[in-house]
Amino acid sequence: MNKTLPFKKIHPLLSCIGLALILGIVIFTIEIIFLFSFHFILGSKFELPVWNFVYQALVYSVTLVVIIYAPKLLRKKPVTREQIGFKGLPTWTDIGLAFVGLVIYFILASLLISLFNLFPWFDAGQSQDVGFNNLYTMADRLIAFISLVVIAPIAEEAIFRGWLYGKLRAKISLVPAIIIVSLLFAILHGQWNVGVNVFALSIVLCVLREITGTTYSGIIVHMLKNGIAFYLLYIFGM
């Protein structure tokens, strides 16, 4: 008697798309729950940098807890550090590849944005709401810097290029895995111009994950990219 469960017969590609959709729903749900909770409890104080920091840190933390420990509820082994790309320590190779990846990202993002600029509905100059709109003091900027340039890259690489990409690559080939991860990453950023930009970023980060077997190079690229954006938005633009 064949005891194979129905979902085991699903094509690997469809299974991976489903996994990405589940992750997207989980992240979106967590964001909405915390967003409404913070607005309800804090009101206009939610606009303060410190509360935006707490909000974003909670969203990332809860998401990581869910993807790491949810398997245990299904009587499976919890996700390990290696499975989210934190194997060993960063090497000089990771650092060197990160700078190469940053250059490739800039080129690829420029090409994609130039392509999308052919469409009248695409606004490459649309500003992105990153949650930190009222930075009046050095302390405010420091809080925003830690959130956007340190915490976000580490958490997002662990979630997307670490956990999700690792799960997908165990089932499907390189290109579909990169496309699925990058599309989800782009969609969750919520607007066209940012989505196109981070889609290019994610492609490079996935390739770095594939080459190195870890997320360290990706984290460095992500930090550098966010650091440059932070400087242009909050320091240079002052």
| Full pLDDT tens readout for the chain, 238 residues | 444 444 455 789 999 999 999 999 999 999 999 999 999 999 888 888 999 999 999 999 999 999 888 777 766 777 888 888 998 899 999 999 999 999 999 999 999 999 999 999 888 888 777 778 778 788 989 999 999 999 999 999 999 999 999 999 999 999 999 999 999 999 999 888 899 999 999 999 999 999 999 999 999 999 999 999 999 888 775 5
In degrees, to the nearest 5, what angle opens at C-alpha 145 toward C-alphas 144 and 146? Answer: 95
Is 7 inside a domain boundary? no
Is 62 within the bounds of a domain?
yes
Does 97 fall in a domain?
yes
Q: Is 6 inside a domain boundary? A: no
Cα–Cα distance measured from residue 234 to residue 224, given in angstroms and rounded to the nearest whole number? 15
Give the separation between CA 180 and CA 184, rounded to whole angstroms: 6
**How much is the pTM?**
0.90
Total number of domains constituting the chain: 1
Tokens found for residue 136: 């009046």
Q: Is residue 4 part of a domain?
A: no
Residue 34 lies in a domain: yes
Residue 5 lies in a domain: no
CB 177 within 8 A of CB 20: no
Q: Which domain holds residue 188?
A: 13-127+135-235
Assess if residue 105 is contained within a domain: yes
Tell me the C-alpha distance between 149 and 222, whole Å: 8
